[in-house]
Structure 1
């Protein structure tokens, strides 16, 4: 009775209280509380003997029939296997569970739990698998579309590159053709001069005015030398300046003589005495008169831009000769030929 509780194996309950009186079976060596055996004092004294056996060990086995008589086979009879205890059934109160039985029960519980978990996981994971499959299919479709977009983009880049190359080539051709057309237009004006700022009159005779102007600048000119003489429309409709007069001479030589005479007339004179309306006997307000080469529309716009650039950069001279525009900053500096707008952009 003095053994420690840790060394005793109880066959009655799992409390293992040493304060209660107990007895040990002489056969299976399990300990039993007297209270669990429901014994009184007389029974306790008789039970305390060394030969006492627990109720399980004290069961008298039934007589076994060891006859060797064979049993007739009947196919309608099913021999049932020994019944296993239920998983959740409590252990028998008559005999404690052995280690092997506990392992079997644990194994069965684990198997059942595994089946339950598999079933639960399958029921929960199957929809996720289906959704994942759909996502993969969608991703595959989107990837295919993306690859197609990339291919189209590469094609578009190549097309744009080719178009840019063609555009640059066309731009060069257009500039070349524009230059040629401008040159042709300027050559078509090689017999012409433009008289600017000459006051207009209602019943004016332009041919007579031009011949009178030739006499003023000391240029030998007859009416037969003039092919055509007319005023042209203003480029700026809001301008208050008189319309310019375009005079077409019979030959470029006569045109050059007329221009040279006007330059010679103006060169030695101060600004207020240069060619003006008073030299023609006009009684209107004294206004300066300018005689220049008749420029094409492109060259005329370029001439205006050159004069503006000359004011900005402090150039002293801007003139026209042979349909070309020239600029010079000082009397001793080199002249610059203004071919196009890009030429003006390079001037610093």
Structure 2
């Protein structure tokens, strides 16, 4: 009986080690996939709350993004765009509310994206809530709506960012942000920033 118990115990320990190795391998693959996805989108920004217009065209969207840059104090040339499009989705029927599916603007180089995001952050930081970037300021008629510009993220990072924000609210973290495809947390001003690579990172912090 004792011998059988020891053999069973060794088998369980072996299975635990194999499971841990497989988990590490999977996490490594997920990170490689994440890095590849980020590199493919590293020069893109996502713009929300720009109403859809009839017969919308890429040149028209480019002019809108250039107007956003101008309002934030940054000149953006039409030649700096690699691609621009509105994300697909169903229009809301039976309502007068404008369609506000996000617009994705991809620049030819990543530095342009960084400059745009930096200019908008600087602009909004100096304004009151009412005067921050909105549709009226960039010449779009109709109901005034706040315009949000952020780094383009793929679905996995969006989900992780959502989980991190929820974690921050529940655990009184003052800061939660995304930079270059990475999610960060900071408890309060002056504290060390925490890089959140996966859901497991959040779970580890919860268990501490």
Q: Do Structure 1 and Structure 2 share a fold, with TM-score over 0.5?
A: yes
Q: Does 1:166 align with 2:18?
A: yes
Corresponding residue to 1:266 among 112, 124, 128: 124
What corresponds to 1:181 in structure 2? 33
Secondary structure, in 3 states, of the residue corresponding to 1:280? coil
Corresponding residue to 2:191 among 322, 333, 340: 333
Q: Pairwise mapping of residues 69-218 of structure 1 onto structure 2 (< 5 A)?
A: 162-204=14-56, 205-218=60-73
Q: Does 1:229 align with 2:77?
A: no
What corresponds to 1:315 in structure 2? 173
Q: CA deviation at 1:174?
A: 0.8
Q: CA deviation at 1:230?
A: 0.8
Q: Pairwise mapping of residues 249-328 of structure 1 onto structure 2 (< 5 A)?
A: 249-328=107-186
2:28 & 2:16 partners in 1: Cα distance? Answer: 18
Q: How well do the aligned residues superpose, as a CA RMSD in angstroms?
A: 2.9
Secondary structure, in 3 states, of the residue corresponding to 1:273? coil
Quick one: structure 1 residues 194 and 170, their matched pair in 2 at CA, closer, same or farther if it must change by over 3 Å? Answer: same
1:336 & 1:156 partners in 2: Cα distance? Answer: 41
Instruction: Deviation per CA, 1:102-158: give whole Å up to 9, x if none.
Output: xxxxxxxxxxxxxxxxxxxxxxxxxxxxxxxxxxxxxxxxxxxxxxxxx9xx99987
Unaligned runs of 5+ in 1: 1-150
Corresponding residue to 1:344 among 187, 202, 208: 202
1:326 & 1:189 partners in 2: Cα distance? Answer: 19
Quick one: structure 1 residues 176 and 271, their matched pair in 2 at CA, closer, same or farther if it must change by over 3 Å? Answer: same
What corresponds to 2:95 in structure 1? none
Q: CA deviation at 1:272?
A: 2.0
| 8 Å Cα contact 2:52/2:99 also seen in 1 | no
Q: CA deviation at 1:233?
A: 3.6
Q: CA deviation at 1:248?
A: 0.7
Q: CA deviation at 1:265?
A: 1.0
Unaligned runs of 5+ in 2: 93-97
What corresponds to 1:142 in structure 2? none
1:299 & 1:249 partners in 2: Cα distance? Answer: 20
Instruction: Deviation per CA, 1:257-314: give whole Å up to 9, x if none.
Output: 1111111111111122111111122222222111111112211111111111222222
Instruction: Deviation per CA, 1:41-63: give whole Å up to 9, x if none.
Output: xxxxxxxxxxxxxxxxxxxxxxx
Secondary structure, in 3 states, of the residue corresponding to 1:318? strand
Secondary structure, in 3 states, of the residue corresponding to 2:137? helix
Larger Rg: 1
Which one has a larger percent strand, Structure 1 or Structure 2?
2
Q: CA deviation at 1:161?
A: 6.1
Quick one: structure 1 residues 286 and 315, their matched pair in 2 at CA, closer, same or farther if it must change by over 3 Å? Answer: farther
